[in-house]
Structure 1
Amino acid sequence: MHEPYPYSESLDLDTIVKLIQINYTLENWEEVLSFSDELMTLAKEIHKELVETESTSHEFKQHIIYYFGYSSLMKSLSYQKLGELGKSREYISLYANLDWLNDSTETGKFIIEDFKFFASANTLQIDVLDGKQERIPEYVEFLVKTPDQALQGLINILRSANQYNYDVETEINQLSPHIKDYTHYKEKVKAAHYLAYQYQLALYRHKRQEHSAAIDLTLHILFAADQLGNDKYFKKAISLFEVIRKFGSVSQLKLCYDILNDIIMRGDLSDEKSPSFRSTPAGSSSSNF
């Protein structure tokens, strides 16, 4: 549970939403869960006022139904991130059915249908993460129609493949054209998703004994994580490299040394031009990586 914030008055709906978003970005899942509970409590309070008196003193930007759906959505996503897929499914069922709020406005109906769509897509996602391989073709079909979700979709597919040991080469080929160069992902959450995808792909190559490709991907993560300022994936890449470095070629080992040496010397040799490292994995046939 988070510490109370030093406000003289209770938090409003939109401030709580903002706090949920901030903590989601920081991957503070327990905080997201706690603030989502606060959001639901306040939304119910305001909704009761609106039903009973048709007015409220509270101010908020969205339709009241949005806050009910958003609370359950963020709890579902947080439990998914925590690996508690059963609980994640429970909260999906809540925002899948907001009809009980009995809103007859067009805006209300639109929001309810929107959350039904999210619930359908996220149920598919949970099924894939749960190892239900038979659901992957449908999931890929959904991702092809919504290419902005392809990055997160590939992370989920690879994570499932790595955990349950099955081949997803076809799916990688279908969806990887939608992944852009790392320089495209400047926003912190998207940058983390890009690095997570590369990391899961490196693990996948390693598990399939494709060690050279796995090392190339790991070196790319080192370089990209440094450029994107993501310490978490820089550390994960260093750890993975140590596990698989025995399979590395002389040129791969030298590249790792060069990347790390450049980071160590950065600032000390400010007048010298930094070495030029490849921004895509060596041997990659696509600039999407």
Structure 2
Amino acid sequence: MSILDKTIRTEFLHYIEENKILLYHFAERSGINSGTLSRVINGSQPISVKILDIMTEYMGLEDGYFYEQYVSELFDDSTMNWRRLRPFIIRCAELGKYNCIERTVDLMMENPAYIQQLFDCAESLNAKGSAEAALIIYRKVCEGERYQHAERLAICQYRIFKLSINHDQQNNLECAVQFDPFVARLNELEQLDALKDLMNLYLSLRRWDKAEQLATRMGKLARVQYKIKHQRIQGGKSYQEPSKALFGYILYSSLIKGAIAEEQNDYHQALHYVSGYENQDWIIEKDPVAELTKKQFREWAAANRYLYQILAGKIDVLDEYVEYLSARENEILRGMFKLIKAANTHNMNIDYVLERFKMKISSHMFIQDRVGSYTDQIIDDRFAIFLMDVGDYYLNSDRARVGIQFLLDSLAISAKINNDACMVRVFCTFDSIRHLATNEELHRYTTLLKEVRKTR
């Protein structure tokens, strides 16, 4: 039998002839209906992926062995339809046969009628955690979408954005730039989450102006929707909620604008924004979930009021804040990010604070703990800068051994996430104190430089 003559059916027939198996016996052992198997073999009934998987298993072959061939045969068959294609795509996702998914979708995109079905399939895969498979389909749907202002296109771009974010800051910037124009095309409720996610990414990239613009947009949109919601409720009408409580987006807008003001060293303005999420008298919701959300924002307000005062130079509240922080495990790192900044700005001695929380700091080098409301991207960025700041703190007090170790740890994380600004800062600092480094420290620095060059 030549390669040109090979099909799944001919390979199966060759197998049963070679092993001297009767079709009836094969059907009985595999659990396939004998009539169905007969029709499949003689070509009067297409092979479903379920039957193909059973045949493959009983032939002693690995799962998905025939899938590449199956793609070709699917589209040679005039009876090809979505009832056969969808189970095949789902099964490919389960087995990690992403090339087969890509080939199948490419062929399907020749018929625009499949776009909605493919989009629905991608949504289902994404909901089940099959991110890579869903991402392939979302991208293909975007390529095939004829209406550039269609909400479906915007949703696909949103899903692509969320699924494509990783620890590489350059990649994340490209994701943000690509998705940004599509936010306004989403429906109002999905826009809130999109604005929040995009804003958080710009925060991790330290694009303060852009993040502040998005925070303002999110707050305004949430206020409009909050008013509409309660007007509808008062009128006895239903209202569809976004993924989180509407009032939470309003509070979060103030929280973020306060954080941005702090990053720009405008502590008076930062303290002003604290009242925006501390004052909650206007919130109508009183249910248990709403109360928990409100309590969380009040806690953040209390913590940030301490922090912004300390950063502004009000050092007398430091001990009070450290005690407050020690009772809140998941806020310790976030607090330390700011305390080290205050220490370097106001020449404060916080040795006892660093000693008290040293296990939390060192453990984060190996275990990426959840830190307050911060996203993973923001934490990676902040932690790299924090280690650099701690290095400066020790170097400024003539403790080079400890300071250099923190500089090198910062460089390692900055290289991992592609944070160019932090890497440049480490390079400049290390070059100025190179003469203080041991041979072992110089060797580690050189090794890290090689790693950096590999990613460029």
- Partner Cα distance (2:196, 2:451) in 1: 41
Q: Which residue of 1 aligns with 2:215?
A: 36
**1:136 deviation in Å?**
1.3
Indicate yes or no: 2:410 matched with 1:244: no
Q: CA RMSD in A?
A: 2.6
Question: What CA deviation, in whole Å up to 9, does each residue of 1:154-186 have, x standing for no partner?
Answer: 221211111111211111100111121523239
Q: Which has the higher contact order (CA 8 A, sep 6+)?
A: 1
**1:199 deviation in Å?**
0.8
- Give the residue type in structure 2 aligned to 1:39: M
Q: Which residue of 1 aligns with 2:252?
A: 70
Indicate yes or no: 2:390 matched with 1:201: yes
TM-score, normalised via structure 2 length: 0.53
- Partner Cα distance (1:262, 1:38) in 2: 40
- Partner Cα distance (1:210, 1:219) in 2: 15
TM-score, normalised via structure 1 length: 0.80
Instruction: Decide whether the 8 Å contact of 2:277 with 2:301 is kept in 1.
Output: yes
Aligned residue pairs total 265
- Alignment of structure 1 residues 85-96 onto 2, 5 Å: 85-96=267-278
Correspondent of 1:126 among 286, 289, 308: 308
The unaligned stretches of length 5 or more in structure 2 are 1-176, 370-375
The unaligned stretches of length 5 or more in structure 1 are 268-289
SS at match of 2:206: coil
- Alignment of structure 1 residues 207-246 onto 2, 5 Å: 207-246=396-435
Q: Which residue of 2 aligns with 1:185?
A: 368
Question: What CA deviation, in whole Å up to 9, does each residue of 1:250-275 have, x standing for no partner?
Answer: 443344334324554x59xxxxxxxx
Rg larger for: 2
Going from structure 1 to structure 2, the CA distance change for 1:260 and 1:114 (only over 3 Å counts) comes to closer
- Partner Cα distance (1:33, 1:73) in 2: 11
Instruction: Decide whether the 8 Å contact of 2:344 with 2:393 is kept in 1.
Output: yes
Q: Which residue of 2 aligns with 1:170?
A: 352
Q: Which residue of 2 aligns with 1:14?
A: 193
- Partner Cα distance (1:184, 1:110) in 2: 27
Going from structure 1 to structure 2, the CA distance change for 1:36 and 1:58 (only over 3 Å counts) comes to farther
- % identity of equivalent residues: 19
Indicate yes or no: 2:235 matched with 1:52: no
4+ residue stretches of structure 1 with deviation over 6 A? none
Instruction: Decide whether the 8 Å contact of 1:143 with 1:150 is kept in 2.
Output: yes
- Partner Cα distance (1:255, 1:245) in 2: 12
Instruction: Decide whether the 8 Å contact of 2:278 with 2:298 is kept in 1.
Output: yes
